[in-house]
Each structure stands twice: as structure tokens, then as C-alpha cells.
């Protein structure tokens, strides 16, 4: 029985080297579960283990002409699977470390911005300034900054003239300048572009 199995393996190995897809299917059916099990044991992720399984047999097909008849094919697959699994694991760990560093950096930057530039205080000043605007001034200001509309587009939307829109915008910015006086460390223009008001 063992000799018969070895004979069948040798026969299919020769066919595989000659480019037989049926021979590849024969070895896939025989070893796929073992390759998957080893990949999963190393990487602990079934989706990545399935990827590695496919990569192993694609690699086997691509290097079929260099396979030696004296080698046990399972040993070849074992080495391929181990190498690919460890490479994938290292790649995943590097990616996770990179993402964790990015998250930490974002938290540090956000904390720095809020503490150093007083963003929370500035938001409060903005709310106070907008509370002093008339309804139309506030509406024009929000449509300009939040919806990025031009004066002509605002005028059409509100059924008023572009000149009236300009006057409301000038009045709104004048109120803002009063409230932001003494906060020279950050310009109103930059702040208005980067902050969501509501």
C-alpha cells in the first residue's frame, strides 16, 4: 500500500513537472488541509491562513520544473508554508505596530493642539461671537464657511443680492474679529477652515 502510494506520488510529481493541472489538483486535495492547519497554527487567522494556502500552491506551480524527484513533496510544501506564514506574521505585526504608533501620535497631536492652542476656548469664543450675529449674518456666514458657497450662490439660495450677502459677511467677520482680539497665535482664517462649527 505504501509503495503504491509512493508510486502514485512519483507519477503525479512527474506530471506536475510537465505542467499537468490535474497533478496539481491531486496534491492540493492531498495536502491542502495540512498546509492550512500549519499556516493557521502560526498566524492564528483563518483568512490569512487561506491566503497562505493559495500562495503555497501557486508557488508550487510556478517552481514545478525545479522540483527534485528524490524529495518528499510534503517537505517542500512544509518549508514553503512555514516561510510564507512567518513572513506574513512579521508583516502583520509591523502593520499593527505602525497603526498603534499612528493612533498614539494622533492622540498626542490632538492633545497638543487643544492644550497649546486653546482650541476649546476658541470654540467658545466662536459660539459667543455667532450668538451676537443677526439671523441673516449667521446664516450667510455658515453657508459660506460650512457649505463653501460663493456670494452669488448664497444670494441665489436666499433670494437676496450678492452685495447684500457681502455686507452680511463683512458684518459677521467684524464681530468675529472683536471676539478673537488678543488671540494672535492663530489666525481666524485658518481656524474657520479647520473647525466644524456645529
What's residue 43's pLDDT? Answer: 87
* pLDDT at position 28 over 90: yes
DSSP letter for 44, please.
-
CA distance 134 to 108: 38
pLDDT at 189 over 50: no
Q: Domains in the chain, ordered, with CATH?
A: 2-109 (1.10.1740.10), 117-194 (1.10.10.10)
More confident residue, 32 or 100: 32
Rounded average pLDDT over 23-30: 92
Highest mean pLDDT among 14-28, 95-109, 116-130, 138-152: 14-28
Share of the chain above pLDDT 70, in %: 72
Contact at 8 Å (CB) between 40 and 31?
no
- pLDDT attached to residue 194: 39
Highest mean pLDDT among 53-57, 99-103, 104-108, 111-115: 53-57
As a whole number of angstroms, the distance between CA 29 and CA 40 comes to: 18
Helices in the chain by DSSP H: which ranges? 2-17, 21-43, 46-62, 73-116, 119-132, 135-145, 151-158, 162-179, 188-194
| pLDDT tens for each residue of 120-165 | 666 777 788 888 889 998 898 888 877 778 889 999 989 999 899 9
Question: Left, alpha or beta for 19 (phi > 0: left; psi -120 to 50: alpha)?
Answer: left
The three three-digit cell numbers of residue 6, written as one number: 509512493
54 Cβ contact list (under 8 Å, min separation 6): none
**pLDDT grade for 101, boundaries at 50, 70 and 90:** low
Query: Mean pLDDT across the chain, nearest whole number?
Result: 78
Does 67 or 187 have the greater pLDDT score? 67
Is the pLDDT at 38 greater than 50? The verdict is yes
Which pLDDT score, from 0 to 100, does residue 74 have? 85
Burial classification of residue 176, based on how many CB atoms lie within 10 Å of its CB (0-12 exposed, 13-18 middle, 19 or more buried)? buried
Residue 24 CB partners (closer than 8 Å, separation 6+): 16, 57, 60, 61, 64
pLDDT (0 to 100) of residue 174:
85
Alpha-carbon distance 168 to 26, whole Å? 78
Name the DSSP letter for residue 180.
T
∠ Cα 154 160 161 (to 5°): 90
* Chain position carrying cell 518549508: 79
Amino acid at each position: 500500500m505504501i509503495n503504491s502510494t509512493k508510486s502514485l506520488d512519483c507519477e503525479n510529481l512527474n506530471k506536475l513537472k510537465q505542467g499537468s493541472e490535474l497533478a496539481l489538483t491531486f496534491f492540493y486535495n492531498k495536502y491542502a488541509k495540512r498546509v492550512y492547519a500549519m499556516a493557521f497554527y502560526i498566524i492564528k487567522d483563518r483568512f490569512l491562513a487561506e491566503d497562505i494556502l493559495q500562495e503555497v500552491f501557486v508557488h508550487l506551480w510556478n517552481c514545478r520544473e525545479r522540483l527534485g524527484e528524490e524529495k518528499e513533496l510534503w517537505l517542500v510544501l512544509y518549508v514553503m508554508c512555514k516561510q510564507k506564514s512567518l513572513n506574513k506574521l512579521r508583516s502583520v505585526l509591523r502593520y499593527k505596530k505602525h497603526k498603534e504608533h499612528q493612533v498614539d501620535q494622533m492622540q498626542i497631536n490632538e492633545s497638543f493642539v487643544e492644550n497649546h492652542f486653546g482650541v476649546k476656548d476658541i470654540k467658545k469664543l466662536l459660539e459667543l461671537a455667532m450668538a451676537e450675529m443677526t439671523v441673516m449674518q449667521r446664516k450667510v456666514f455658515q453657508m459660506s464657511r460650512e457649505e463653501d458657497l460663493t456670494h452669488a450662490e448664497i444670494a441665489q439660495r436666499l433670494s437676496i443680492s450678492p452685495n447684500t450677502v457681502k455686507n452680511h459677511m463683512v458684518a459677521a467677520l467684524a464681530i468675529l474679529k472683536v471676539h478673537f482680539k488678543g488671540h494672535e497665535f492663530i489666525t481666524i482664517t485658518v481656524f474657520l477652515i479647520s473647525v466644524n462649527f456645529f
